[in-house]
Chains A and B, each alone.
Chain A
Amino acid sequence: MSDTAVDTDEADQDVPKVVSSRFDVADGHTLDGYTRSGSFEGYAALRRVLTMTPGAVSELVKDATLLGRGGAAFPAGVKWGFCPPGVWPRYVVVNGDESEPGTYKDRLLMERDPHQLIEGSLIAAYAIGAAQVFLYVRGEMPHAQERIAAALNEAYEANLIGKNILGTDFSVDVVLTWGAGAYIVGEETALIESLEGNRGMPRLKPPFFPAAKGLYMMPTIVNNVETLSNLPWLLNHGVAEYRSIGTEASPGTRLIALSGDVERPGVYEVPQGTTTFRELFESERYGGGIRGGHELKMFIPGGASAPWFFPEQVDLPLEGRVVGGEGSMLGSGAVVVMDDTTDAVRACLRLVRFFARESCGKCTPCREGTVWEEKILQRILDGQGRPSDLDLLLDVADNISPGPYPLAAYAEADLEAIPFPPRQTTICPLGPSSVAPITSAIRRFRHEFEDKINRKDSIPVTSAGMSNV
Chain B
Amino acid sequence: MSEKPRDLEITEPVEITLNGELITAQNGELLIDACERNGSYIPRFCYHPRMSPVGMCRMCLVEVDTGRGAALQPSCMIPVSDGMSVDTESDGVAKAQDGILEFLLANHPLDCPVCDKGGECPLQDQAYAYGPGESRFVEEKRHNEKPIPISDLVFLDRERCILCDRCTRFADEVAGDPLIHFIHRGSHTEVNTFPGEPFASYFSGNTVQICPVGALTASPYRFKARPWDLEETESTCTRCSVGCRVTVESSRNEVLRLQGVDSDPVNWSWLCDKGRFGFEAGNSRNRISQPLLRSESGELSEVRWNTALDGAASAISAAVDGRGPQSVAVLGGARLTNESAYAWTKLAKGVIGTDNVDCQLGDGLPAELVLGLPGASIDEVCESGATVLYLGPDAKEELPVLYLRLRHAADSDGVKIVEVGPTLTGLSPYVAESITALPGETASVVAALLDGTSEHVQASALLRDASDLKVVIGRANLAEDETITVKAANLIRESVPGATFLPALRRGNVRGALEAGLSPGLLPGGAVLAGTVPPGWQSVPTEKGGSASEILEDAANGRVEVLILLGSDPLRDFPDRSLARRALAGAKTVISVDPFVNASAELADLVLAASMFSESAGTTTNLEGRVTTLNQKVTPPGTARDDWMIAVDLTDRLGADLGVETSAADLLHEMAEFSDAHVALRDGDPVGDGVMLDISGRDLVTPAEFEVPAANAYSLRLVLNRTMYDKGTLLAESPSSAGLAGESVVKLSAADAAPLGVDGSTQVKVTSEHGSVIVAATIDPKVPKGVAVMHHVLGDVDAGTLLVSGDPVCDVRVEVS
Contacts and interface: CB of A to CB of B under 8 A. Distances in A.
A359 B186 contact: yes
A363 B71 CA distance: 17
A72 interface: no
Contacts of A364: 56-59, 100, 103-104, 162-163
A371 interface: yes
Nearest to B190: A361
A398 B95 CA distance: 9
Nearest to A375: B139
Contacts of A379: 139
B187 A402 contact: no
Interface residues of B, number: 36
B106 interface: yes
A379 B162 CA distance: 25
Interface string B735-772: 00000000000000000000000000000000000000
Contact of B103 (A204, A358, A368, A427): A368
A361 B185 contact: yes
B575 to A, nearest CB: 45
B107 interface: yes
A357 B188 CA distance: 9
Contacts of B103: 364-365, 367-369, 372, 399
Interface string A348-379: 00000000111111111101111110011001
Interface string B91-104: 01001101110111
Contact of A423 (B72, B100, B162, B188): B72
Interface string B77-101: 1110000000000001001101110
B77 A367 contact: no
A368 B107 contact: yes
Interface string B52-75: 001111110100000000011010
Given A204-B55, A392-B136, A402 B107 contact: no
B194 interface: no
B263 to A, nearest CB: 29
Contacts of A426: 58
B77 A368 contact: no
A424 B74 CA distance: 11
Contact of A427 (B55, B136, B184): B55
Contacts of A375: 139
B47 to A, nearest CB: 13
Contact of B96 (A199, A371, A425): A425
A209 B107 CA distance: 33
A402 B185 contact: no
- Chain A interface bracket (under 10, 10 to 19, 20 to 34, 35 or more): 35 or more
B112 to A, nearest CB: 19
A425 B187 CA distance: 17
A399 B188 CA distance: 21
Nearest to B46: A364
B99 A204 contact: no
A469 B74 contact: no
Interface in A318-375: 356-365, 367-372, 375
Contacts of B182: 199, 361
Contacts of B99: 365, 396, 398-400, 425
Contacts of A359: 185-187
Q: B56, B74, B92: which has the most chain A beta carbons within 10 Å?
A: B56
Given A204-B77, A361-B163, A469 B57 contact: no
A141 to B, nearest CB: 20
B484 to A, nearest CB: 43
B426 to A, nearest CB: 24
Nearest to B181: A199
Given A358-B186, A399-B102, A469-B186, A372 B137 contact: yes
B696 interface: no
A207 interface: yes
A368 B187 contact: yes
Q: A360, A396, A425: which has the most chain B beta carbons within 10 Å?
A: A425
A151 interface: no
A403 to B, nearest CB: 11
A96 to B, nearest CB: 21
Q: A357, A359, A361, A423: which has the most chain B beta carbons within 10 Å?
A: A361
A40 B346 CA distance: 97
A469 B185 contact: yes
Contacts of A270: none
Contacts of A424: 72
B140 to A, nearest CB: 8
B189 interface: yes
A364 B107 CA distance: 11
B133 to A, nearest CB: 16
5 contacts: A356-B187, A360-B185, A362-B54, A365-B100, A371-B187
Given A368-B187, A371-B187, A376-B139, 7 more contacts: A361-B189, A362-B54, A364-B59, A364-B163, A367-B103, A370-B187, A371-B186
Interface of A: 182, 199, 204, 206-207, 356-365, 367-372, 375-376, 379, 392, 396, 398-400, 402, 423-427, 469
Closest CB pairs A-B (n = 10): A399-B99, A368-B103, A361-B189, A359-B186, A375-B139, A361-B186, A371-B187, A204-B55, A364-B103, A364-B58
